[in-house]
Amino acid sequence: MVFYLNDNIQYVQGVGPKRAKLLQRLGISTIQDILFYFPRDYINKITDKKISELKINEIATIRAKVISFGKIRKKFQKDKFRAVISDGTGYLTCIWFNTTPWLEKQFEIGKEIIILGKLKYYYSRLCIIHPDFEFFGDKEKESFWTGQNYLPVYPLTEGLSNKIFRKVIINIFNRGFKISETLPQYILNSHNLLTINQALTKIHKPNTEDDISSSRRRFIFEELFYLELMLARKKVHWHRTTGNVMQLKKTLTTELKNKLPFKLTSAQKKVLNEIVNDMKSPFQMNRLLQGDVGSGKTIISLFAMLLAIENGFQAAIMAPTEILATQHCFALKEFIKGINVRIELLLGGNYAGKKKLKQAILDGEIDIVIGTHSLIQKDVTFKSLGIVIIDEQHRFGVIQRLSLSQKGQTPDKLIMSATPIPRSLALTVYGDLDVSIIDELPPNRKEIYTNWITGHKKPEVFDFINKQISKGRQVYVVCPLVEETGKSDLRDATNTYVELKNGVFSKHRLALLHGRMSNQEKDEIMQNFKDGKIDVLVSTTVVEVGIDVPNATIMMIEHAERFGLSQLHQLRGRVGRGMHKSYCVLMAYEPISEEALLRLNTMKETSDGFKISEVDLEIRGPGEFFGTEQSGIPKFRIANIVRDKIILEDARKIAFEVISDNFDLNLEKNSLLNEKYKEEYFKREKLFSF
């Protein structure tokens, strides 16, 4: 009798209670679980390495002939078994620490053998201890390589070998199982995808490269397709959700427009138009605003907020940190000087005046409230929240975003991404939102000369900095740590500050800034720097999200090899904001890893935030880049949105076509989709919102 997908794994031949427990650690308890536990890699059995090419600790398969074999007997020790094999390029010793009559019987001089194992250097020769082996042409036997040309390698846990895992899989295949298709025929056909049965067979028991790639493609497609199906439904749902209808009253918005010290770039005008149209429409806005550092997102968000306010609503901005919230408050207050709009900062914790402030928010006396997740606390209530702005540095989870928007009656929602998001992430994590992109920097921006150097060039850099200061420019020096912690030889901010003050910059005015100072101290120093009372600001990364100082022209980063790409890019964005040519000097120290080198060179080669974030995503992988756990996106089994970009685009296109054609998935041709969707995605859909 064949297996059913829900059957317990324990009853597969070769499993039993002990192995069932080990499998459970991998999340495998049923036939379905193990069938969808995919190999992470394959070993090509036929064309793998020659003995002479092997490296120590390498896992390889070798095809060779038996040269000699025999028992090794030593006093007080168990008998061992040894076989020497050769493929003509060298000799290899295979060792078994406890021999059995069965084992000894297998060997014959001259017999062709295939060995799988890890190469070690033992007893002064190349060895493989306890290799998996089989004799060539032994296809009848149940064997470690499953009779296929490629051996799957599974990501396993201790106590569970691939040999055993493969056997379990083979036993399941030998007995057979009942599985139904999960993609409709019309999609399989139009995309040239394998059926689920074909794909499962080929992914676990491939015979050719094509078996591997086509079976993987089927499952990657499926995984991304269902996700995109959910995003498509969500997006259509947003487009149908009724919201507030705002009218361009041209009071506050026009006041701001007339006061603006600069002209909006055409990219800014374009996105503002998109936002205003959303807000005027009878539907709720759910929009992502993307743009590089310094592209001018803040002013756009202010226009949107003023539009809500001139329609009698309040606005809220949620920022990921207090520094950023404070910074927003500061910047917005600058812009609205002379306009009758009340902006207040709502910070975390308890402080004098907070209770009053909350009452004023409830009474609708405050027009714009800026805060961190302090905003989503239960006791914060708005009179009529009309727009929610989320300044997201990849930090908010969906739940937090959701709770802020619940403080209003279907308020319009605008997410601003502090750094550009690579397209593949935008299509998944933000795949349900409309997207506006500011793809142009304000005209006064100049290319920032960027280079990375190692320690011995430092004197030249300091010479150059001195010259800049004497021309009246200002300098940032950023260090990775505040204070030296024990053994670490990182150049910490405090030490660097003392060193520079007593050394090369003794003639200039220096200040130290770090996150352990009180907000008041920090503000004061920032303000002094802005007012030109400080020449060199030595700091930790707190300036990353800090202040706008057009006269600062040099950003020098100590231990740049330690910083992530997006952080380096953010830091660089602190200069090049004025009329003078600006420079970014990345000081790197050995050892510089390959990845660090890639980061440094990327910084040198491009200033395009979108390109930089692509590289960043490639280096770090989607999980780390975004904390996808928090984002509401399910963990991928097999897909990798960086590697599988093309399949992603494809899956998204089809998913949106399907949903626009049949939102409820209730057409006959979509019945398979409906079934699986209801089972696995429907619940998640509720969670995935903001």
Q: Which residues contact ligand ADP by CB under 6 A?
A: 262-265, 268, 291, 293-299, 442, 444, 548
In the list ligand ADP, Mg ion, none, the entry touching 262 (Cβ below 5 to 8 angstroms by class) is: ligand ADP
Beta carbon nearer to Mg ion, 291 or 386: 291
Residue 212 in tokens: 């591997």
Beta carbon nearer to ligand ADP, 295 or 602: 295
CA angle, 561 as apex, 429 and 549 as ends, to 5°?
75
Least Cα distance to 530 among 514, 517, 515, 548 occurs for: 548
In the list ligand ADP, Mg ion, none, the entry touching 291 (Cβ below 5 to 8 angstroms by class) is: ligand ADP
Which residues 6+ apart lie within 8 Å of 662 measured at CB? 670
Beta carbon nearer to ligand ADP, 64 or 437: 437
Q: How far is the CB of 297 from ligand ADP (least distance, A)?
A: 3
Q: How far is the CB of 531 from ligand ADP (least distance, A)?
A: 16
Report the alpha-carbon distance of residue 528 to residue 335 in Å, rounded: 20
Beta carbon nearer to Mg ion, 162 or 295: 295
In the list ligand ADP, Mg ion, none, the entry touching 265 (Cβ below 5 to 8 angstroms by class) is: ligand ADP
In the list ligand ADP, Mg ion, none, the entry touching 442 (Cβ below 5 to 8 angstroms by class) is: ligand ADP
For 28-47, letters b (16+ CB in 10 Å) and e give bbbbbbbbbbbbeebbebee
Q: How far is the CB of 169 from ligand ADP (least distance, A)?
A: 52
Q: How far is the CB of 298 from Mg ion (least distance, A)?
A: 5
Residue 207's φ and ψ, nearest 5 degrees, are: -110, -20
In the list Mg ion, ligand ADP, none, the entry touching 439 (Cβ below 5 to 8 angstroms by class) is: none
Helices marked H in 36-82:
none
Q: How far is the CB of 509 from ligand ADP (least distance, A)?
A: 24
DSSP-derived secondary structure letter, 592: -
Q: How far is the CB of 291 from ligand ADP (least distance, A)?
A: 5
Q: In which element (H, E) is residue 289 found?
A: strand 286-291
Q: How far is the CB of 439 from ligand ADP (least distance, A)?
A: 12
Identify the residue whose tokens are 């009529």. 384
In the list ligand ADP, Mg ion, none, the entry touching 293 (Cβ below 5 to 8 angstroms by class) is: ligand ADP
Provide the mask over 296-315, with x wherever binding to Mg ion is found by CB under 5 A and - wherever it is not. Answer: --x-----------------
Report the alpha-carbon distance of residue 571 to residue 567 in Å, rounded: 6
- Which residue of the chain is nearest Mg ion when measured via CB? 298
Distance, C-alpha 231 to centroid of its chain: 18
- Coil, strand or helix at 281: coil
Beta carbon nearer to ligand ADP, 269 or 457: 269
Q: How far is the CB of 462 from ligand ADP (least distance, A)?
A: 29
How many CB atoms neighbour CB 639 within 10 A? Answer: 22
- Which residue of the chain is nearest ligand ADP when measured via CB? 296
Residue 223's φ and ψ, nearest 5 degrees, are: -60, -45
CA 219, 222, 224, 227 torsion: positive or negative?
Answer: negative
Beta carbon nearer to Mg ion, 291 or 411: 291
Beta carbon nearer to ligand ADP, 338 or 349: 338
For 529-547, letters b (16+ CB in 10 Å) and e give bbeeebbbbbbbbbbbbbb
494 belongs to the binding site for Mg ion (CB under 5 A) = no
Least Cα distance to 406 among 375, 435, 433, 428 occurs for: 375
Beta carbon nearer to Mg ion, 380 or 448: 448
CA 502, 504, 506, 512 torsion: positive or negative?
Answer: negative
Q: How far is the CB of 236 from ligand ADP (least distance, A)?
A: 30
Give 74-115 as a 3 state SS string.
CCCCCCEEEEEEECCCCEEEEEECCCCHHHHHHCCCCCEEEE
Amino acid in the structure at residue 213: S
Report the alpha-carbon distance of residue 682 to residue 664 in Å, rounded: 11
Report the alpha-carbon distance of residue 66 to residue 89 in Å, rounded: 14
Beta carbon nearer to ligand ADP, 294 or 532: 294
In the list ligand ADP, Mg ion, none, the entry touching 146 (Cβ below 5 to 8 angstroms by class) is: none
In the list Mg ion, ligand ADP, none, the entry touching 268 (Cβ below 5 to 8 angstroms by class) is: ligand ADP
Beta carbon nearer to Mg ion, 31 or 317: 317
Q: How far is the CB of 44 from ligand ADP (least distance, A)?
A: 49
Report the alpha-carbon distance of residue 328 to residue 332 in Å, rounded: 6
In the list ligand ADP, Mg ion, none, the entry touching 420 (Cβ below 5 to 8 angstroms by class) is: none
Beta carbon nearer to ligand ADP, 156 or 264: 264
Give 456-480 as a 3 state SS string.
HHHHHHHHHHHHHHHCCCEEEEECC
Residue 116's φ and ψ, nearest 5 degrees, are: -130, 130
In the list ligand ADP, Mg ion, none, the entry touching 296 (Cβ below 5 to 8 angstroms by class) is: ligand ADP
Contacts to Mg ion from residues 280-299, by CB under 5 A? 298
Q: How far is the CB of 445 from ligand ADP (least distance, A)?
A: 8
For Mg ion, how many residues bind (rule: CB under 5 A)?
Answer: 1
| Residues engaged in binding Mg ion (CB under 5 A) | 298
